[in-house]
Amino acid sequence: MSGIALSPSLLQDLDNLSQTQGEYDTVQRQLGTGLAVYDPTDNAVAYFRAASLTGRATQVLNYKGGIDQGVSSIDTALTATTAVENLLQQLQGMVEGARGASLPARTEATQQFKAIGTQLNQLVQDAAYQGLNLLSSTAAQLTVQFGPQNGGGLTIAGYDLTATGAGNARALFTAVGAFNTSRAILFSNVVAGGTVAVQGFSALDVTGGAGTVAASLAATIFDEAKSRLNNAITQLQSVAGSLGSFAGVLQTRSVFQQSYATQLRAGARKLTLADLNTSAAESEAASLRIALGLQSAALQGQLRSTILQILHSSAASQH
């Protein structure tokens, strides 16, 4: 059997070349990926710690998504409360305008009052976000989870602004049933408090002229209607204030979740990211060592070849 025998120094050079090539490949991967720890073989402890931090960040952001949806649900309700307040103010305007107005004007005001009341209810019923309406039913409930732990969240109960019965503390008109089962506004209940059957402003003439209700009682009804509408606006503002407080809590939590996830990911990067400046310098150094190693190996090969030729020539001359 024949073979090629390599000198110890050449073997050492080749071994050094192999090692340097491995180092070069490593820093090239670092430059390409930006990672010093690419898989568990690089640094198992750092790799799995970073994976844990990254997984936690993903979980935190998943819960942030639910929080943000909760904010959107509340924002929808708050937008509706602003519009409802505007309609209540219009109802106040109808009451003020009808007081002391002519019979035709009071008749027209009644129609407008009822039309606005219908629109008010319709607006409340339309204030849903992804099927949840926090203003149309006390059975509605918004639950926002902050994390996997039990009790780590917020629950917000709904309101029934256009409730059909009296005494509902979560309705617009808490003292009277302002809407019927079809959610149409009950003029007599809202304006007269239900104590007197009044179907329209035409029955109310504070001057003692055209009307079926005595002037003094008509004046009292107008005053109480104005007070009742003021109370409804106050109640609505209280609802909006409560919802706004909940929205503030959720927004604060959303900002925290984002910041927390950012910190977790930053921690993971610290465990795995490469110093690209150092990697670039190491790449250049390894490239140079490879070039020098190849040159050294080549020189040794040439030297060995020359010595063999001399020995061969010497042996031939002796013959």
Ramachandran class of 159: left when φ > 0, alpha when ψ lies in -120 to 50, beta otherwise: beta
Reduce the DSSP state of residue 90 to 3 states and report it. helix
Would you state the pLDDT for residue 161? Answer: 97
CATH superfamily of 50-272: f41 fragment of flagellin, N-terminal domain (1.20.1330.10)
Task: Name beta bridge partners: 35.
Answer: 273
- Residue in 125, 144, 139 with CA at minimum distance from that of residue 76: 125
Over residues 169-200, the pLDDT tens digits come to 999 999 999 999 999 999 999 999 988 899 99
pLDDT < 70 positions in the chain: 1-38, 150-151, 273-319
Sign, CA dihedral 213-219-222-224, equals: negative
Query: Distance between CA atoms of 81 and 77, rounded to whole angstroms?
Result: 6
The predicted structure's pLDDT at residue 31: 46
What local confidence, expressed as pLDDT, does residue 12 receive?
A: 57
pTM, rounded to two decimals: 0.74
Cα(297)–Cα(310) distance, integer angstroms: 20
Write down the pLDDT at residue 213. 93
Compute φ and ψ for 208, nearest 5 degrees. Answer: 85, 10
Integer Cα distance of 127 and 216 in angstroms: 40
pLDDT at residue number 293: 55
Looking at residue 195, the DSSP 8-state letter turns out to be S
> Residue 42: what pLDDT?
75
Contact assessment for residue 42 and residue 279, using Cβ atoms and an 8 Å cutoff: no
Q: What secondary structure, in 3-state letters, does 231-257 show?
A: HHHHHHHHHHHHHHHHHHHHHHHHHHH
DSSP of 130-184: TTB-SSB-TT-EEEEE-SSSTT-EEEEE--BTT-SSSS-TTSSSSSS--B-TT--
Q: Confirm if 170 and 150 have CB atoms less than 8 A apart.
A: no
* Close Cβ partners of 215 (under 8 Å, ≥ 6 residues apart): 205, 206, 207, 208
pLDDT digits (tens, 9 = 90+) for 43-88: 788 888 989 999 999 999 999 999 999 999 999 999 999 999 999 9
